[in-house]
Amino acid sequence: MQASVTPRHPLARLTADEIDVARQIITAGGLVTDSTRFAYLGLAEPSKDEVLAYTPGTPIDRRVRAVLLDVATGAAHVVIASLTKGTVEQVEPIDTRTQGQPAIMDDDLITVDEIVKSDPEWVAAMAKRGLTDLDKIRPCPLSPGEFGFPGEEGRRLLRVLSFVQNRPEDHPWAHPVDGVVAYVDLIERKVVKLIDHRVLPVPQREHNHDDPAYTGPPRTTLKPLDIVQPEGPSFTVDGDEISWDHWRLRIGFDAREGLVLYQIRYVDNGRERPIIYRASVGEMVVPYGDPSPTRFWQSYFDIGEYLIGQQVNSLELGCDCLGEIYYFDAVLPTTRGEPRVVKNAICLHEEDFGVLWKHTDIFTGSSEVRRQRRLVVSYFATIGNYDYGFYWYFYLDGTIQLEVKATGVIFTAPHIPGNPYASQITDEIAGPFHQHLYNVRLDMMVDGLTNAVEEIDAVRVRTGPGNEYGNAFTRSVTRLRRESEAVRDAHPGASRVWKIINPNSRNAVGQPVGYALIPQGGPLLLADEGSSVRRRGAFATHHLWVTRYHPDERYPAGEFINANPGGAGLPAYVAQDRSIDGEDIVVWHTFGITHFPRPEDWPVMPVDCCGFTLKPIGFFDRNPALDLPAVTSTHCRPGHHGSGHAGHEHGRHDGGHAHAGPEHGGHEHGGHEHGGHEHSGHEHS
Ligand code: CU
């Protein structure tokens, strides 16, 4: 039972065949019964040394890692199997009392529905609220958090809030049933506790964003806008490897982390220079700020608890992505360990991004402009009410960005006048305050493995000797030498950045080459000291963490975050206080949005964006985009935009027809230049 196809690269994504073989090997090892579920199955990545030393043709030991859960007993195991050798290599039990639980599975939605609807007390609580047609009630499988409540230790629990769906087309989020929550044990298959705190009216009005009777007729003001690349896109794809302009990278897709980018490199004058070995959003948490007895526990770790990769959308050309698109399918395991294919899961395309550089010279008359472009690698996942888009951008000038787009439907509650923890959205509905906090794990490799981090702040200089007129300002550069020194917060007022340098690689002016992490610096986790979510989501209490690389240190909040009491992940990693100065290091960055829902977020929310930027600082010896050709569009002619001297000179050259005709006139250029792309650039720069 060995995998039939030899993988093309040690980091190649698991194929459907390989998932099949993995299940067969694990089953043959006696580890699978009727009640066994694959709570996770993914590639066990080979060590970094092995990957970096790999040359095509080298034999690869292909391994998978699985988390198995017996839904009859609650027993859980981590299993490592070799597809190459056809053997199970490791089986380790998970102590669910101390370590936490395997992630919530898609099957749990159905299980929870069956359990609460057969519980007489829950049915009575619904009846008390006038809800007697159980077929219209939609219980949600919500992660329980961990509060040390007696009797909950080691249990596989969900806490269940419900919504009403009037008919199949009606979106239930508009009809929250509040004041009652069921605590459900998924293994014993029963409600272990019902909290019936308060009878609140269930909001009745329907707000269906896909119903023309509700939204009104579509507006007719917009003409078609298409992206045309007559010669095709500028990227090429070979298996999981992407080449675009000077960029090289490899994609992965994990059931838990979703999109993973490997070996991000920039070809600089023919030399392939590594920047990041591995980049992924390792965890996120959505903590709610409503302390009511039925909601205080709400905090969803959508990656570790809900496996965001498993919830990936299948995208549609022209709707989700515009232009010349390349789609990668995702191959994921079902809870039975079978492969399933999500078509068009990962989107790859390039976008115009306005002006990259421009100068009109008053002395030489030269007028030059070059346009910016970016390569976009993205996917969308839906987790219950919310939809999240993860967009990685690579720019012609060496900049890298991640933008996370939150959209979908807010988690609702009935409006209670005077509630300081929610905003009123409609006459009946409120949106409880909450945050969306993400942690990106950046396994850095700037020009090699020996990296270090400097914190750079803008600082004022006091008036005095050497600064007699008080105009001076400078910057402070602090090297973060140990893990304990590198737990840091953003300081937007000082333009604080964290520069990842390679002390062993120098640029033309003799300085270590570097890439700066530019944070947006929003609020960190707002829950108070001593709160459960602060222990469990400690990663979200600081913007920056830096660790010495260790292959097992993958998850910001630990591996089994579901029901985990806290302390796992980053706090445990940095407690080792290793040196991070000139070492192989991993940079972990927390960013996010604090969401006070607006009426405009209803009934479906315009995307709310957040992210960060990685910008070369002394990585290149000069502007790396000098060699861009001047003309990148048939609409643009050199000198056409010129003003002053340059305009005159080129005006003669172009002749009168340059400005003629509405299709090629200045207005159209103005539209391009100041269009959506440029505007969005401002928003997240
Ligand atoms: Cu939100």
Q: Return the pLDDT at 650.
A: 36
Among 302, 387, 443, 447, the active-site one is 302
Q: Return the pLDDT at 667.
A: 35
Residue 276 Cα to ligand 1 midpoint, Å, equals: 30
| pLDDT, mean of residues 433-438 | 98
Task: Kindly report the pTM of this predicted structure.
Answer: 0.92
| pLDDT, mean of residues 373-377 | 97
670 pLDDT higher than 70: no
How large is the angle between the packed helices 120-128 and 107-117, nearest 10 degrees?
Answer: 80
540: Cα separation from own chain's centroid: 14
668 pLDDT band, cuts 50/70/90, is very low
88 pLDDT higher than 60: yes
453 pLDDT higher than 90: yes
Residue 436 Cα to ligand 1 midpoint, Å, equals: 6
Q: Return the pLDDT at 319.
A: 77
660 pLDDT band, cuts 50/70/90, is very low
Residue 641 Cα to ligand 1 midpoint, Å, equals: 43
Residue 595 Cα to ligand 1 midpoint, Å, equals: 5
Active site residue 302: yes
Alpha-carbon span 458 to 477, nearest angstrom = 9
684 pLDDT band, cuts 50/70/90, is very low
Q: Return the pLDDT at 622.
A: 97
Residue 104 burial by CB count (10 A; 0-12/13-18/19+): exposed, middle or buried?
buried
Of all helices (H) and strands (E), which one includes residue 341? strand 339-360
Count the residues in the chain.
685
Among 183, 300, 326, 386, the active-site one is 386
Average model confidence (pLDDT) for the chain?
Answer: 92
Q: Return the pLDDT at 636.
A: 56
Q: Angle CA(655)–CA(658)–CA(664) in degrees, nearest 5?
A: 170
456 pLDDT higher than 50: yes
633 pLDDT higher than 80: no
Secondary structure class of 462 (helix, strand, coil): coil
The per-residue pLDDT for range 179-204, each reduced to its tens digit, is: 999 999 999 999 999 999 999 999 99
Q: Return the pLDDT at 663.
A: 34
The per-residue pLDDT for range 566-576, each reduced to its tens digit, is: 999 999 999 99
Question: CB-hemisphere CA count at 13 Å for 442?
Answer: 32
Residue 259 Cα to ligand 1 midpoint, Å, equals: 21
Q: Return the pLDDT at 440.
A: 98
The per-residue pLDDT for range 292-308, each reduced to its tens digit, is: 999 999 999 999 999 99
683 pLDDT band, cuts 50/70/90, is very low
Secondary structure class of 598 (helix, strand, coil): coil
Residue 604 Cα to ligand 1 midpoint, Å, equals: 11
CB atoms near residue 665 (< 10 Å): 13
685 pLDDT band, cuts 50/70/90, is very low
Residue 437 Cα to ligand 1 midpoint, Å, equals: 10
Residue 597 Cα to ligand 1 midpoint, Å, equals: 7
The answer to whether the beta carbons of residues 554 and 518 sit under 8 Å apart is no
Share of the chain above pLDDT 90, in %: 88
Share of the chain above pLDDT 70, in %: 91
| pLDDT, mean of residues 433-455 | 98
Alpha-carbon span 550 to 538, nearest angstrom = 19
The per-residue pLDDT for range 509-532, each reduced to its tens digit, is: 999 999 999 999 999 999 999 999
The per-residue pLDDT for range 290-347, each reduced to its tens digit, is: 999 999 999 999 999 999 999 999 998 777 788 899 999 999 999 999 999 999 999 9
Alpha-carbon span 631 to 608, nearest angstrom = 34
681 pLDDT higher than 60: no
672 pLDDT higher than 50: no
| pLDDT, mean of residues 88-96 | 97
Weakest-pLDDT range from 100-104, 391-395, 630-634: 630-634
Q: Return the pLDDT at 322.
A: 85
| pLDDT, mean of residues 55-75 | 95
The per-residue pLDDT for range 250-280, each reduced to its tens digit, is: 999 999 999 999 999 999 999 999 999 999 9
Active site residue 443: no
211 pLDDT higher than 90: yes
The answer to whether the beta carbons of residues 443 and 419 sit under 8 Å apart is no
Alpha-carbon span 213 to 211, nearest angstrom = 5
The answer to whether the beta carbons of residues 278 and 262 sit under 8 Å apart is yes
631 pLDDT higher than 80: no
Q: Return the pLDDT at 640.
A: 42
| pLDDT, mean of residues 422-428 | 98
Residue 57 Cα to ligand 1 midpoint, Å, equals: 48
Question: Which position has the higher pLDDT, 3 or 148?
Answer: 148
